[in-house]
Structure 1
Amino acid sequence: MLLKNKQVAIIGGGPGGLTLARLLQQQGANVKVYERDADQYFRQQGATLDLHYESGLKALRTAGLIEEFKKNYRPGAEKFTIADHNAIVHYTEADEEPLEDIDHEHARPEIDRGPLRDLLIASLQDNTIVWNSKFSALEANGEGWDILFDNKTTAYADLVIAADGVNSKVRKYITSVERFYSGVTIVEGNVYNAAANAPHLWELTNGGKVFALQNHKFIVLSAKGEGSLSVYTSTKEAEDWAATSGIDFTDKTQVSAWFRQRFSDWSDDWNELFSTHDSYFVVRPQYYFPADQLWQTLPNLTMLGDAAHQTPPVGEGVNQAMLDALELSEALGSAHFNTIQEALASFENKMRSRASKEVEEAGQMTAGLHSENNLEYLLNFFNNFEEL
C-alpha cells in the first residue's frame, strides 16, 4: 500500500475532503482533516444538494454510506418549478410523486448540506478532524510538509491534499494557473422561518426548488428541511462590483434597496425575500478555471474539488468533488503504481480531462441562463431532458 506508514493531511472539511477521509480510512490510511471552523456546528450550511448516480452517490456507495444517506435525504426536495419575473409558473413537478428509488441512474436525490456533512463526519474515526485549523502556509520538510495554521499550531504530513474550496490557499503551491471572472455575481442568502417571513414564495417552492428567470437575470429558491429558504440572485456585474457598489451586504436594508432597484422590472412578489431581518446575505462573484489548465504533478501534494476546477454553479460542484475523492482514493489504493507521485499523476490527468468538459458545459449553461431569453432557454432544456 502506497500510504503505509504515511501521514495524510486533508485541508478542508467540506463534502469532498470528508468523503476522501472516509475512503482512505477504509483502506487503513492515517488521515487528519484540518478544518477552519471552530466546531461541527459553527457555521450555517448552504442550500440543498442534488447527488448524482455516477458521481456523488457512487462515492457514498463505495464509502458504505448509502443507507445513512437514505435516512437523511429529502424526498420531494428534487421537485422543480420554473417561473417568470411575475412569479407565474411555466413548468412544475409539484404534483409528481416524491423520489423514492435513489438507485436509478437518472435519480437526483436532494439532501441538505448540513446533514450530508454530519453523516460524513460521523463515519470518520474519532479525532480525525482537527477543528479551528485555518491554513496559513506550507513549508517543505524532507519528503513531506510542515503545515502552518493561523492559530500558530503546526502539523506534519507526508501527503497533503487541498480540499479547501473556491478560495483555496493551498492551490498556489501546486500551480500558478489563475481563475477567470465569469461575468456573473451571485447574492446568496438564507431566509429563516420562511413560512412566516416569505409565505407566498415558501408556498411556491413547495418543499423543492424554484428557478425564476427573465431578461438576463434569475433567482433560485431552495427549501431546506428546517424551514428556511436558500436564496440566490444571479446577475451580470463588473468583477469589482461587490467592492465598488458601496453596499454593505450585512445590512438588510441596503440589500433590500439594491434588490428593489436591480430587479425593478420584476413583480413585488419577490420583495418578501428581502423584507425580513430574519435572514443573512453574502455576495459571491463567480469564477472558473480554464478548461485546458495543466500543471506538473508533485510527489506529495495534490488537490480536488473547487480548489482544482472551480466552475460557475450549475449543480455539479459537490458531485465532482466527491467523484474526485473516490478516484483519488482508488489511485492511492491501487497496486498498479510504484510511487505516490505516479498515482497522483494518473488521478490528476483523469480529473482534468473530466473537469474540462464540465467547464465547457457550465459556461454554456451560464450563458443561457443569463441570456435575454433565459426563461425559454431553461424551459427548452427541461423539455429536451424529459424526451431522453
Structure 2
Amino acid sequence: MTPTTPRIAIIGAGPGGLTCARVLQRNDVPVTVFDHDAAAGARPQRGALELHMTTCQPALRAAGLHEEFAALARPAGQEVRLLDHTATVLFQYAPTPASTPAPADRCETDRDELRRLLLDSLTPETVRWGSYLRTLHPLGDGRHRAEFDDGHTETFDLVIGADGSWSRVRPMLSEATPHYTGVTFVESGFEDADTRHPEVARLVGAGRMRAESAGRALIARRERHGRIRLYAAFRGSQDWALEAGVRMTDTEAVRAVLLDRFAGWDERLLALLRDNDGGFAHRPLFALPVPHIWTHTPGLTLLGDAAHLIPPFVVPGAGLAMLDGAELARALTGHRDPDEAVRAYEAALRPRATEAAERAARGLAEALAPDAPRGSLRHLRHRPR
C-alpha cells in the first residue's frame, strides 16, 4: 500500500464483501462496509450454502478463518443420481470411504452461520447497516463521492462493488445488465424427510438427485436435519405464473400448474411436487454476458455476482465471491499502488470468472436440453472421480 492508506468502501455485506473486509483488516488496512439491510438480522439467511473447497478454502485461509469454518461446516452429500422422467436411475455415484477426498471437495454450511462467522471476525462498526448506495460521483484521480439514500455522502479512493446481481456500482464500469436466461427454478422443500417423507428420501438418496427430460428437470439436494431442497426447472417466460393466472402465494394453484408442466412423469417424481412442505418460491435465473469485461476505471472494481452473475448451477457462487474478495484484498495489501493492485486482480479475475460462467451455462443447457438427460449423462460418465 502507499504511505497514505486509501479510504476503501465495500458496497454489500455478502460473503464476498465480508471476506474482502476481513482480509484487509487482517493486514491492517482500514475498510468500511455499507449494506442496505437495516441490521445484520433484518433478513434471515435461511437454508444451506454448498461450497467448493477449491474456491472457498484459499479464501478462508487468507481470512484466517479456516479452522473456525471447519467447526461449522459439514461434508455435502457426495452421492450423485441422474434419473429420467420414468424415475429410471441412469447414473449413480456413491463414493466409498477410500474414494472420498479428505477433506471432502464439497461442503455445506448454513447461510446464517457463515455470515455470523465473517461478521464476528471484523472490528466493531465495520459494517454500516441501513446504507443503500444511491449513486457515485467521480471526483477525479480515482476518487468517488458515494451518495446514500438517507442523504449522507462520503468520499473514497476505492469503491468495491460487492452488491450482487443488481449492483449499483456496476453501471459506473459497464453497460452490461443481467438478462433472463429463459430458465426458471421454482423452489420448495421437505422437512425431516427420512421420517415424514420416506419415499422421497429414498428417491433422492444421500446427496444430489436430478431427473431430466425434454427441457424440464427436478433437482433435489440433501441439507441439514433431514431437509431436502427441491427445484422444479423449466424453460419459458419468467412471468409463467401470471400467464397461467395464478399467484405464487396460492400454493395449490401453483402446484396444479407444475404438475401439468411435468405431466407424464413417473408418480414417484411427481410426488416431489405434490407432497412438499410449505409453499413454492419463484426463482427466475439471470446472468451477465460471458465474458463480462469492463474498462478499468481507477477507484472502482467489482467482485462476486456484481462482476460475474451466473446461474446457480454446477458452480456455487458464494465460494467464487469469497475467492474474489480474498484475492482482491491480497492484491491491495501486496502492491504499493492500489490502482496497480486492482488492475492485477481484474486481470486474474476475468479468465476464472469466464470459465466458471461457461461451465454453469453448459451444465444448465445440458440439463434442460430437448434430448435431456443425454448431455448430463455423458458429462457425469466422463467426470473425474
TM-score band by shorter chain is 0.7 to 0.9
Is 2:319 the counterpart of 1:355? no
Pairing 1:125–2:126 present: no
Which residue does the alignment assign to 2:75? 75
TM-score, normalised on structure 1? 0.86
Give CA-to-partner distance per residue, 1:254-293, whole Å, 9 cap, x none.
Answer: 2212211111122233444444684343323223222243
User: SS state of the match for residue 383, structure 2?
Assistant: helix
Deviation at 1:237, TM superposition (A): 0.9
* Equivalence for 1:345: 343
Could you say what secondary structure the match of 1:164 adopts?
coil
Identity level (%)? 33
Q: Which runs of 5+ in 1 are unaligned?
A: none
Question: 3-state SS of the aligned residue for 1:333?
Answer: helix
Pair 1:48-2:46 in alignment: no
Structure 1 residues 135-180: Cα deviation after superposition (integer angstroms, max 9, x where no partner): 3333346753343444555554332111111222321122112344
| TM-score of the two chains, using structure 2 as the length reference | 0.87
- CA RMSD, Structure 1 to Structure 2 (Å): 2.9
Shift of the 280–27 alpha-carbon distance from structure 1 to 2, 3 Å rule, reads farther
1:7-156 aligned within 5 A: 7-41=7-41, 42-53=43-54, 55-94=55-94, 96-97=96-97, 101-102=102-103, 107-140=105-138, 144-151=143-150, 154-156=153-155
Contact 1:236 1:370 in 2 (8 A): yes
Asked if structure 2 preserves the Cα contact closer than 8 Å seen for 1:47 and 1:230, the reply is no
Q: Read off the aligned partner of 2:219 and give its amino acid letter.
A: V
What is the rounded CA distance, in whole Å, between the counterparts of 2:95 and 2:334 in structure 1?
47
Question: How many matched pairs?
Answer: 381
1 CA distance for matches of 2:339 and 2:173?
13
How far is 1:110 from its partner?
2.9
Contact 2:314 2:360 in 1 (8 A): no
Q: Secondary structure at the match of 1:374?
A: coil
CA distance in 2, matches of 1:318, 1:308: 13
**Alignment-mate amino acid for residue 235 of structure 1:** F
Task: Tell me which residue corresponds to 1:251.
Answer: 250
Consecutive unaligned residues in structure 2, runs of 5 or more: none
Q: Is the 8 A contact 1:48 1:112 kept in 2?
A: yes
CA distance in 1, matches of 2:320, 2:329: 14
- Which has the larger displacement, 21-30 or 290-299? 290-299
How many Å separate the matches in 1 of 2:201 and 2:152? Answer: 45
Residues in 1 aligned to 2:320 and 2:3: alpha-carbon distance in whole angstroms: 24
Q: Distance in 2 between matches of 1:111 and 1:120?
A: 13
Task: Specify the alignment match of 1:370 in structure 2.
Answer: 368
Residue equivalent to 1:225: 224
Distance 1:288 1:272, change over 3 A: same
The whole-number CA distance in structure 2 between the counterparts of 1:369 and 1:88 is 16
